[in-house]
Structure 1
């Protein structure tokens, strides 16, 4: 691209010079000589001091203006040539640096140790143990995982040979380990990388499911999953969402400029518009931490979630039905969500694992006690998430297991029950208690915050 840029300007300059020569050929050799004399001495001429009274002849006054214009053109040409010369210098410097330095990026493969990786690099063998010991001081090399990125930096010496001077191990989006050669030893340090934060705005029309429509508008999967979890307290995604409903979402995006990576933060504002009805949520920091509130300052989180998994289809409701295996009518004391095997299942609310294991026709089964009144149950699971055992504490939205077809089941699905004071109730019809409402000073701060967010949203919509 730089090559084209340079030659493009050279072509323009050549074209201008040819135009000037052709112009003065038509004017005559006298004008050309005058132009050359003025061009040679242009630095010493102070055109502003020339008195136009001396140009009594109209033809001479016209020539004066022409010469003034041509001097300006020559100055532009000189300036353009200077820019090109600087570009050439920068390009040569970049090429020199590229020739003097190189980076080798590798990814840890199965069975590789840090020592084996170092030995494959162009590193003096006497330094390898020093590098290992130094790195181990701030990072446990036993935790080096498959596909971990490691960058090796080399610089040319006076003998025109590359020698190793540094390595970097990106640990997270925000941090990396640097091991650098200083004199004849190595120093390791953990470095916090500069992060650029930007807010992204999406206005999405729903044509099929919320999730699929969001993907078409390039809403990141992580943000879509957070959005579904957030609205699962108030929305039945299978029944409530209709074609041409829409949602507005405003969220944080983090850019790691050094490695050009992207991560996603919180949803700052969301508005799900279902058949003209708006359901707005704002994130806000209270004394208890960040949470989501509606425009009146009421916490949108409820005691329990209606749908404890993403993107599932309600395949069987609560009530009497013909049993798909037994063949006769039987009370179905829960709801079934059809979903692919392995789909994550979330805890419907904060609570304690009361049971986790096989439970007869339910197959692999989990039951959570949320308070003195409510329990939830999850059946036909394929398996349990790590740490899900009796007595373990779980938080709302935490993955507890995975959809399966264990027990008496015709295919992968989640059987979900809500038990209120010992009685199984219909999850789709229960009235969920709302979370806390903001009051006094916190409410005043929230209203100011939501007003500021509204201003940003209106600006984006316009």
Structure 2
């Protein structure tokens, strides 16, 4: 009898285990399907939001297309004047004359440089000709004449001077072929090379003295804007050359308006006659050609 009870109990346990397993599987299936529905619903909501954002973006673009303002980056062509440019974009004659008068405070309106890029913002008017909002002309790398219309609808002008940051640069190289190419290889700007040659033109005959493997060193200034872009070269503070075994070091003394270059003994290098005239000389010949004072 005990054995029969035990057998029945074992069968009951197996039945309970089977029912429990089936129940758990059914519960997991229900939860999974429910989770899928929630996920799909979330994806639908996300898609709906993305579609709404897309509609907003398209609406923004359409509004921009319908904007009454025209922003132009115009490149100056031969014969262009302020009057000619603004008439091309149908700006009111009275405003054209005002722009010209404002420009005259800082520059000559008929002397725009060919290839120069200017920025113009114009407002389209339905009932009359267009009106000027902004007319901006960079006259140098660091200076811009900007003419704008203020809140009172008055055309005003100002000169904007970009803040420049000065760095001292030391460049040196061995002269392999000529001074110019060796200096360019050392990333010295052409205007600095010409000034360097002018300074040493009182001490060195570039047509006869320079030899292969001679050496130069320059400490000079370079100016950069706030974005780190090069704007212009500054003064040469120190210049050195080793020429045919002879070493020459020159130092700048004085301010930017009144200065000179002197050797270690304080003697000025600027004599009455340069050994080699620099102006007009070609700067690219090699040693063998002997055609140029700086390059050969």
Report TM bin, short chain. Answer: 0.5 to 0.7
Q: CA deviation at 1:123?
A: 4.4
- In 1: Cα distance, 2:109 partner to 2:277 partner: 38
CA change 1:126–1:260 in 2 (3 A) is farther
Q: Secondary structure at the match of 2:119?
A: strand
Aligned to 2:73: 105
TM-superposed CA distance for 1:259, in Å, is 11
Aligned counterpart for 1:192 among listed residues 122, 147, 161: 161
CA separation of 1:141/1:203 partners in 2, compared to 1, >3 Å: closer, same or farther?
Answer: same
Larger relative contact order (C-alpha < 8 A, sep ≥ 6)?
Answer: 2
Following the alignment from structure 2 to structure 1, what is the Cα–Cα distance between the partners of residues 173 and 115?
Answer: 35
Shift of 1:113: 2.4
Aligned length: 220
Q: CA deviation at 1:267?
A: 0.8
List 4+ stretches of structure 1 deviating above 6 A.
99-102
**1:237 paired residue among 199, 203, 206:** 206
**Which residue does 1:224 correspond to in 2?**
193
Give the whole-Å Cα distance in 2 for the aligned partners of 1:296 and 1:184: 64
SS at match of 1:143: coil
1:302 aligns with 2:271: yes
1:403-418 equivalence runs, <5 A? none
Change (3 A) 1:103 1:264: farther
In structure 2, the partner of 1:168 is 136
1:266 aligned to 2:235? yes
Would the alpha carbon gap of residues 213 and 296 (structure 1) be closer, same or farther in structure 2, given more than 3 Å must change? same
Q: In the alignment, what sits opposite 1:293? A: 262
Partner in structure 2 of residue 127 of structure 1:
95
Report the CA distance shift for 1:193/1:155 in structure 2 as closer, same or farther (over 3 A).
farther
**Offset, 1:120:** 2.5
**Alignment partners' CA distance in 2, 1:146 and 1:177:** 17
Distance of 1:306 and 1:289 partners within structure 2: 23
Q: State whether residues 223 and 232 of structure 2, in contact with CA within 8 Å, keep that contact through their aligned partners in structure 1.
A: yes
Partners of 2:230 and 2:263 lie apart in 1 by 33
Over the aligned positions, Cα root-mean-square deviation in angstroms equals 3.7
Query: Residue 175 of structure 1: CA displacement?
Result: 2.2
Deviation, 1:191, is: 2.6
Question: Does residue 180 of structure 1 match 2:180?
Answer: no
What is the distance in 2 between the residues matched to 1:122 and 1:297? Answer: 64
TM-score when normalising by structure 1: 0.42
CA distance in 2, matches of 1:138, 1:242: 49
Can you list the C-alpha shifts for 1:130-150, whole angstroms capped at 9, x where unaligned?
Answer: 323332344332333433432
Q: CA contact under 8 A between 2:81 and 2:111: conserved in structure 1? A: no
Change (3 A) 1:102 1:252: farther
Q: Give the C-alpha shift of residue 273 in structure 1.
A: 1.4
Counterpart secondary structure, 2:194 = helix
SS at match of 1:142: coil
Q: Partner of 2:46 in structure 1?
A: none
Give distance in 1, aligned partners of 2:231 and 2:164: 10
Please report how far the alpha carbon of residue 224 of structure 1 lies from its aligned counterpart in structure 2 after TM superposition. Answer: 0.9
Q: Of residues 139, 147, 158 in structure 1, which corresponds to 2:115?
A: 147
- Between Structure 1 and Structure 2, the one with more strand by share is 1
Query: Within the alignment, does 1:204 sit opposite 2:173 as a pair?
Result: yes
Tell me what 1:375 maps to. Answer: none
List alignment gaps of at least 5 residues for structure 1. 1-91, 157-161, 314-336, 344-462
TM-superposed CA distance for 1:283, in Å, is 0.6
